Chains A and B, each alone.
Chain A
């Protein structure tokens, strides 16, 4: 672990000039090497986890695929770098990955002092608690004196300290670096409570020995806007990552799906035609440095936002997470995208 960081640092320091050149224009760099290097979670069911064949799948992974589809028209041109909570930032800083799509919370410190740009929020999350049903706990306020398992280097760890302090509760933190270690320790009874983003709790509950013995408490104690991150100072690349998300949202709004995207090109609705690059003399892609049909490629690869959500973490997945805040703005949520015009 430490070695990896040191390597990354030395890489950044000694090959600094090279990394700088790459940083200045990530898009050309990605096009030259022929794939997107995407930093993902090492193993979080629903967001990014390898399947039985070792292929990564999940919500964040679909974002990597969507970006690759937008650039190359081919969703397979991605390479994944599994990262722990601690490795993720040095990996992005040093240029080891081009984009970090790793259920990472957007905070001011990370946006400024760490030298990243976050946007757009692709999942509005909040921190929750999971406990054993046998403890008969109904609220997080009854948790005084508990041993709490948490992954180190996360906003979760800080929110936890703040929440217990604010409510004048005692607790004993049990911290691990890897999510797998936290899961194992909680399952083995090393701690009473597991805390992380609520989406994560639902995902982790399914991987425990007896999921039905555990419950997620109702409290949400923080705002966790999860967003993909890129390095500061490369606006072109930042635009591409942002507009891939907005394309997914717009597609859902327009009712454009993986199945009907080709027919929609000839839709009478000028908004949809423009969005799909089917308008005459369109510069909808060229302005981003992409093909005009980039949005078509994205939707062909992964579907619209609703499809991505349902397939990985929503109703169509074992996690069955409600859309909640992540519903479209027109349907009671806060997922909203600027117009593609």
Chain B
């Protein structure tokens, strides 16, 4: 490459000199050397750590994960007792992290879009309220928001003996929100199948309508038939199978409400705090995204006679999404990582459970390694999904 380049630039051709003077080869050498130094450093840290652990008489290795946990967990999505293993305890923590991250992301997105669009509203009150919301939650550290909700829940709600009774046999107190737990009898599968069938049929109908609209300019109604199917199919299945569903209602026990399902104040406050906190950032991203669509686009749409709702839905939002999605991904990652603040209020997330195991079993290095690998994996998967979503939402030029 060097030779033709020098010809092209009109310089006299030189005999090939030492390989070391070739910038391309020198570049490769530098990179190889850097990589080797890096690997050597990692190796040094790794062996040195193992050696030091051995000399300090500290046991190492991941074998401890199959040992009996010996402690109980307050919140668990799967069966867990003190007889379960450390590995299962970590899994419980992992699921709890996923639960709060997933529900938090959904709520934050919905709330963020509402507030973000609200800030652009022509209604003075809505716009100002949205601004106040954003400025308050964006400027408070997330840990304080969590404490705000936690102490709020604990301080404002009554004790368990003065629970607030809500409709459908639910109760609210400072131990959380207790509601009837559905108990599925045999035959409930048909209801689920019916629901699934209704959803699939609705999608088919939508596709049919879209094709028809493309071909003839007129679709068929889809909203009401879909709603009717999704409601009616499972109901019919439910009665055919003889009502295979009952509820386990919470009732007052000696100390707590017993029976039913309980969402504890730890989850509630963490979920609310993360949602509200992240929503304030998402609102700004949404506002920025919409603002970034040139005014000419909506003017052109208006000139074509589109109503303002259609203009927003089909012209402005699709273009804004391109700008919104990449920073939105960062917010999702932030929310997931901020969920580690759960430790402050005793929600059994991965870090909290891992911390307990770390201390009970005395394997800090292994636990910290697991933490890092898990959070890295969750974040990379989220990024991967959002990148895929982004490429789907990208402008398709025709």
Which A residues are closer than 8 A to B by beta carbons? 1-2, 5-6, 8-9, 12-14, 16-17, 19-20, 23, 85-86, 89-90, 93, 109-110, 112-115, 135, 142-147, 152-154, 157-158, 160-162, 164-165, 171-177, 181, 185, 188-190, 192, 231-233
- A114 → chain B, closest Cβ, in Å? 4
Q: Would you give the 0/1 interface string for B140-157, flagging 1 where the beta carbon is closer than 8 Å to chain A?
A: 000000000001001100
Digitize B331-373: 1 where CB-to-A-CB distance is under 8 Å, 0 elsewhere.
Answer: 0000000001001111010011001101111101100100100
A188 touches B45 (CB 8 A): no
* Smallest Cβ-Cβ distance to B64: which chain A residue: A113
Asked if A185 and B72 sit within 8 Å, CB to CB, the answer is: no
Q: B177 near A: Cβ within 8 Å?
A: no
Q: Which residues of B contact A173 (CB under 8 A)?
A: 71-74
A145 contacts B258, C-beta separation under 8 Å: yes
Cα A172 to Cα B74 with chains together (Å): 6
The reply to whether the CB of B18 lies closer than 8 angstroms to some CB of chain A is no
- Give complex CA distance A153, B71 in Å: 9
Q: A145-B258, A157-B71 are in contact. Are A13 and B364 (CB under 8 A)?
A: no
Q: Indicate which residue in B74, B343, B362 contacts A114 across the interface (CB closer than 8 Å).
A: B362
A161 with B346, Cβ < 8 A, contacts A13-B48, A110-B362, A190-B265 known: no
B254→A176 contact, CB < 8 A = no
- B257's closest neighbor in chain A, by CB? A145
B49 is an interface residue with CB less than 8 A from chain A: yes
Which chain A residues lie closer than 8 Å to B371 at the CB level? 2
Check if B346 sits within 8 Å of A146, measured CB to CB.
Answer: no
6 A-B interface contacts by CB (under 8 A): A2-B371, A23-B56, A113-B58, A160-B71, A177-B352, A190-B175
* B45-59 contact mask (Cβ, 8 Å, vs A): 1 or 0: 100110110011111
Known: A113-B58, A231-B56. A175 touches B362 (CB 8 A): no
Interface membership of B309, Cβ < 8 A: no
| Besides A164-B72, A181-B346, 14 new A-B residue pairs in contact (Cβ under 8 A), listed by A number | A2-B368, A6-B368, A9-B365, A13-B45, A86-B355, A114-B362, A115-B56, A145-B253, A145-B255, A158-B82, A165-B83, A171-B72, A174-B266, A185-B154
The answer to whether A175 and B82 touch across the interface, beta carbons within 8 angstroms, is no
Contact present for A152 and B356 (CB under 8 Å): yes
For residue A105, give the distance in angstroms from its CB to the closest CB of chain B. Answer: 12
Partner of A2, one of B57, B265, B345, B351: B351
Q: Are B72 and A152 in touch, CB under 8 angstroms? A: no
Chain B residue numbers with a CB within 8 Å of A181 are 344-346
B58-A19 in contact (CB<8A)? no
Chain B residues lying within 8 Å of A89, measured Cβ to Cβ, are: 359, 362, 364
B49 near A161 with CB under 8 A, answer no
Kindly report which residue of chain B lies nearest to residue A189, judged by CB atoms: B159
A152 to B371, CA, bound (A): 18
Residue B225 lies at the interface, judged by CB distance under 8 Å to chain A = no
Chain B residues with CB below 8 A from A13, complex form? 45, 48-49, 52
Contact A188-B155, Cβ < 8 Å, known A145-B254, A233-B56: yes
Contact (A190, B174) CB under 8 Å given A16-B52, A135-B255, A175-B74: yes
Compute how far the CA of A110 lies from the CA of B360 in the bound complex, rounded to whole angstroms: 9
Given the interface pairs A9-B365, A145-B256, A147-B255, the reply to whether A16 lies near B154 with Cβ below 8 Å is no
Q: Are A185 and B360 in contact (CB under 8 A)?
A: no
Decide if B70 is an interface residue (CB 8 Å cutoff).
yes
- With A9-B365, A174-B346, A190-B265 in contact, do A161 and B52 touch (Cβ < 8 Å)? no
Task: Check A16/B48 contact, CB under 8 A, given A145-B253, A171-B72.
Answer: yes
Cα distance A21–B271 when bound, in Å? 47
For B48, B52, B255, B356, which residue has the most chain A Cβ atoms within 10 angstroms?
B255
User: What sequence of 0s and 1s flags, for each residue 360-395 of chain B, a beta carbon within 8 Å of any chain A beta carbon?
Assistant: 111011001001000000000000000000000000
In the complex, the chain B residue whose C-beta lies closest to that of A142 is B254
Q: Which chain B residues in 272-307 approach chain A with CB under 8 Å?
A: none
Q: Which residues of A contact B265 (CB under 8 A)?
A: 190
Nearest opposing residue in chain B for A171, CB measure: B72
Question: Nearest B residue to A110 by beta-carbon distance?
Answer: B362
| B352 surroundings in chain A (CB, below 8 A) | 152, 175, 177
Chain A: minimal CB distance from B235 (Å):
36
A161 touches B51 (CB 8 A): no
CB-CB < 8 A to B351: which residues of A? 2
Q: Is the CB of A172 within 8 A of B58?
A: no
User: Is A12 a contact partner of B49 (Cβ separation < 8 A)?
Assistant: yes
Question: What distance in Å separates the Cβ of A259 from its nearest Cβ neighbour in chain B?
Answer: 42
Q: How far is the CA of A115 from the CA of B364 in the complex (A)?
A: 13
Contacts of A190 in B (CB 8 A): 154, 174-175, 265
Q: For B154, what are the chain A residues with a Cβ–Cβ distance below 8 Å?
A: 185, 188-190
Q: Beyond A13-B45, A152-B352, is A115–B58 a contact (Cβ under 8 Å)?
A: yes
Question: Does B45 lie within 8 Å of A152, measured CB to CB?
Answer: no
- Which residue on chain A has the smallest CB distance to residue B371? A2
- Complex Cα gap A252–B52 (Å): 41
On whether the beta carbons of B254 and A144 are closer than 8 Å, the reply is yes
User: Are A86 and B358 in contact, CB atoms less than 8 angstroms apart?
Assistant: yes
